[in-house]
Amino acid sequence: MIKPIDFLNHVQKKQFFSSHHKVLIAVSGGVDSMNLLHFLYVSRETLKIDIAIAHVNHHQREASEIEETYLKDWADSNNLPFYVGHFKGKFTEKKARDFRYNFFKEIMQKDGYTALVTAHHADDQVETIFMRMIRGSKLRYQTGIKEKQAFANGELIRPLLPFSKNDFPEIFHFEDHSNQENDYLRNRIRNRYLPELEQENPNIKQALLRHGQDMVVLIEALQDLTKDIDKQNCLVFQRQTSAVQHFLLEEYLSNFPDLQMGQSQFEQLLYNLNNSKSYDFPLTNHYRFKKNKERYSIYKISPETDSHPQEVLLEYGSLVTLENYSFSHSEAHESYLESIPLPSKKPVILRHRKPGDRILVKNISKKLRRFFIDEKIHEEDRRRTIIVEQDNHIVAVICQGKTYLSNPYYHDIMRGKLYIQKM
């Protein structure tokens, strides 16, 4: 049985909260999330974190209102902030999941929480790996759930992943009887497929976990071996073996998680990359593929309301396009040739100029109009200028293929980076 000290030791060893002070806990009311809440509550002073509860009422069961009331009362009696979201509309697993994570993201950005913690555990990991195998996911996606990843203005952390549900202490919680129904694939895996496979191999769960860990090692090894290859250089790409080309294209496509490309389209791209022709055609989900003899790129088409695209919000860990540029706000992005430092990992606004915009040049605040005149920038290029804004401050101006930094940021501690690629 897991004891609070076991959890605390694991969290401290992994340093999950070393850079976080405000932590949001996703609590459904089930045994997993109630244990997570308990562990973090009793460890909060040692970890030096302030915690809050976020709960989503999906209104799918009669007990939903009782669960919400109980959690709110528990939070009030323990002096913890409590946030509740109410799902509306036709229920599907995907819609509910999207609603939850959008709700959590809004709270984090509004109230300054930098860590979201969920109660995913080893059994969830097993089910996820097996489900992805059944669905025919590529090997890189059979690694399972990550312990930590970028999310909103901070990180999504899953500290219970090494622990099995059977090892959780018995604690007051609410039972979701829909988990026993087999309408969804995950439930069938949990209730039917895995128990049957355990009759063939009692250690099937451990085998699936090892499979996921082996995939992590394999992908990391291939990334290390190919890190110095310019993936978007067509001539370099064409010199590689077909196996390496396959991995390089997969690695590049992993930057666009919502592209959702099928196998036939993937093979078509491989064919296109292995000839000297130029291409410019649409892919799925508003993406386009563009290639000339030297380089290729994939970019998302930004919505336009008039002759200029509207401003774009770029969150940490995401990619967007504006004008003829692709932008990535992340830890590292090998395929992008230029980067600029940012004061923080907070969201970035990419937009066109507005009246009153100013940039600091050599510690002198200049109106953007004056700056354009001094730099001899033509009127057409002025209209296409991109302003990089963070925390209501202009960080940089991108114009005529050049990036001009607002110079006071040179003296600040840089905690983020914006990667830029001309398309």
Residue 30 in contact with residue 174, Cβ under 8 Å?
A: yes
Q: How far apart are CA 205 and CA 210, in angstroms?
A: 9
Lookup: tokens for 155: 């990180």
Distance (Å, whole) CA 411 – CA 131? 49
Q: Distance (Å, rounded) from C-alpha 420 to C-alpha 423? A: 10
Helices (H), 181-338: 185-188, 194-200, 204-226, 234-238, 242-253, 263-273
Last residue of a domain, which of 185, 208, 231?
208
Q: Could you read off the pLDDT of 238-295 as tens digits, one per residue?
A: 999 999 999 999 999 988 888 878 888 899 899 999 998 888 888 888 888 989 889 9
Q: What's the pLDDT score for residue 413?
A: 57
- pLDDT tens sequence across 158-215: 999 999 999 999 999 998 777 777 878 899 999 999 999 999 999 999 999 999 999 9
8 A C-beta contact, residue 345 and residue 416: yes
**Domain presence at residue 229:** no
pLDDT band for 407, please (50, 70, 90 cuts). Answer: low
Measuring CA to CA, which residue among 358, 334, 337, 333 is closest to residue 416?
Answer: 333
- Percent pLDDT > 70 in the chain is 94
Per-residue model confidence as pLDDT tens digits over 212-237? 999 999 999 999 999 999 999 999 99
Same domain, residue pair 198 and 335: no
Q: Read off the pLDDT of residues 42-94 as tens digits, 9 standing for 90 and up.
A: 999 999 999 999 999 999 888 899 999 999 999 999 999 999 999 998 888 88
Say if 248 falls within a structural domain: no
CA separation for the pair 129, 146 (Å, rounded) = 12
User: 163 is written with which tokens?
Assistant: 């622990």
Domain co-membership, 342 together with 202: no
* Residue 338 pLDDT class (50, 70, 90 cuts): confident
CB 291 within 8 A of CB 310: no
In a domain, 267, yes or no: no
SS3 labels along 326-383: EEEECCCCCCCCEEEEECCCCCEEEECCCCCCEEEECCEEEEHHHHHHHCCCCHHHHH
* pLDDT tens digits for range 359-369: 887 778 888 88
Quote the pLDDT of residue 306: 40
What confidence score (pLDDT) does residue 339 get?
Answer: 84
Q: Over pLDDT 90: what percentage of the chain?
A: 55
* Residues 172 and 26 occupy one common structural domain: yes
Domain membership flag for residue 306: no
**Of 333, 335, 353, 339, nearest to 405 (Cα)?**
339
Would residue 222 count as lying in a domain? no
Q: Are 203 and 335 found together in one domain?
A: no
In a domain, 275, yes or no: no
Q: Is the pLDDT of residue 422 over 80?
A: no
Choose between 237 and 139: higher pLDDT. 237
Asked, for residue 203, whether it belongs to a domain, the answer is yes
Copy the structure tokens of residue 67. Answer: 């669960």
Find the CATH number of the domain harbouring 160. Answer: 3.40.50.620
192 lies in some domain: yes
Note whether 33 and 173 are same-domain residues: yes
Give, as one character, the DSSP assignment of residue 168: S
Q: Tell me the residue range of the domain where 91 lies.
A: 4-208
CB 278 within 8 A of CB 292: yes
- Calculate mean pLDDT across residues 34-46: 97
Choose between 147 and 178: higher pLDDT: 147
Give the DSSP H or E segment for 94: helix 93-111
Residues 6 or more apart from 403 whose CB is under 8 A from it?
A: 338, 340, 396, 397, 420
Q: Kindly list the distances between the CA atom of residue 286 and the CA atoms of 105, 135, 302, 328, in Å, as whole numbers in the listed order.
A: 24, 24, 8, 17
Using a cut of 0.95, tell me whether the model's pTM lies above it: no
Q: Which pLDDT does position 335 carry in this prediction?
A: 57
286-332 residue pLDDT tens:
888 989 889 999 887 755 434 444 578 888 877 777 777 778 887 66
How many domains would you assign to the chain? 2
12 exposure class (CB count in 10 Å sphere: 0-12, 13-18, 19+)? middle
Single out the residue in 164, 181, 208 at which a domain terminates. 208
Picking from 25, 6, 27, the residue whose alpha carbon sits closest to that of residue 17 is 25
Q: Are the C-beta atoms of residues 45 and 87 closer than 8 Å to each other?
A: no
pLDDT given for residue 174 in this prediction: 92
Return the pLDDT at 124. Answer: 95
Question: Of 208, 224, 258, at which residue does a domain stop?
Answer: 208
